[in-house]
Amino acid sequence: MTLKKNSLKKLKGLYAVIDPGVCALAKHRPLPVVKACLEAGVKVVQLRYKAGSDKELLFLAGKIKKECEKHGALFILNDRADLARLTKADGLHLGQKDLPVRAARKIFKGLIGISTHNDREIQKALKEKVDYIGFGPVFATSTKKGLPPAAGLGRLKRAVLKVNIPVAAIGGINKDNIREVIQTGTSCAAVISAVCAAKEPNKAIGELMAVVG
């Protein structure tokens, strides 16, 4: 329990979601982007690799886990409880259509977070005793298809007030709106394109960290 509490303390500020597909479109390799995030002080890194094979995912996850350990940061794997366990990830992030939380806990014993988009999903997540929730999309985003309309800052703030666990805001967050996101009281502001698709990732990460600290 103490280990989990210590990990949860790191769930704040910038939450970097590394998507190799988005990185590739901008001609970046994911590992240098991860290193830039960690060197800038980011304490939460998630690997989201939907298109990779199990072998590719396992290899890259292992590399990112090692980098996160060097910097005292959390490494969270998206979707795959089995590979999260194999790579000794600190956390697992699930979507609404992924493995149920109860089943995931039989495989993986670290932090578990889940994406939510409305009050019903938030209440379900709380009953399942997840360690944190993702909430969004806060703003319009093209990174993930099939999402509901943008929730906006007002609904994000209400979501934060409804729960007593960390909330990671996600969806369309960038250097122009991240200050407003943090001001809602959310624990983390999760970014994908703002880092992975940036022309200069180092500069982009620096600008974001200058706001969230």
pLDDT of residue 77: 98
d(CA 104, CA 100): 6
SS3 189: strand
d(CA 31, CA 18): 9
Are 174 and 205 spatial neighbours (Cβ–Cβ below 8 Å)? Answer: no
- Amino acid present at 67: E
Region 73-84: mean pLDDT is: 98
Phi/psi zone of residue 188: left (φ > 0), alpha (ψ -120 to 50 degrees), beta?
Answer: beta
SS3 165: coil
- Amino acid present at 106: K
Tokens representing residue 131 in the block? 């360690």
Strand-strand pairing, 132-135 and 167-170: parallel
pLDDT of residue 12: 95
DSSP result, 70-85: HTT-EEEEES-HHHHH
Region 89-113: mean pLDDT is: 97
Residue 36's H or E segment, with its range, is helix 30-39
Tokens representing residue 110 in the block? 């670290």
d(CA 190, CA 144): 13
Q: How sure is the predictor about 2, in pLDDT bands with cuts at 50, 70 and 90?
A: low
Q: How far apart are the first and last CA of the chain?
A: 27
Q: Is the pLDDT of residue 22 over 90?
A: yes
pLDDT of residue 3: 66
Q: Model confidence over 188-201: pLDDT tens digits?
A: 999 999 999 999 99
pLDDT of residue 25: 95
- The full set of domain ranges for the chain reads 2-212
Q: How sure is the predictor about 181, in pLDDT bands with cuts at 50, 70 and 90?
A: very high
114, β-bridge pairs: 94, 133
pLDDT of residue 142: 76
Q: Model confidence over 38-67: pLDDT tens digits?
A: 999 999 999 999 998 999 999 999 999 999
Superfamily (CATH H level) for 2-212: Aldolase class I (3.20.20.70)
Q: Is the pLDDT of residue 143 over 80?
A: no
Q: Phi then psi for 169, rounded to 5 degrees?
A: -75, 145
Q: How sure is the predictor about 158, in pLDDT bands with cuts at 50, 70 and 90?
A: very high
- Mean pLDDT over each residue of the chain, to the nearest integer: 95
d(CA 143, CA 2): 35
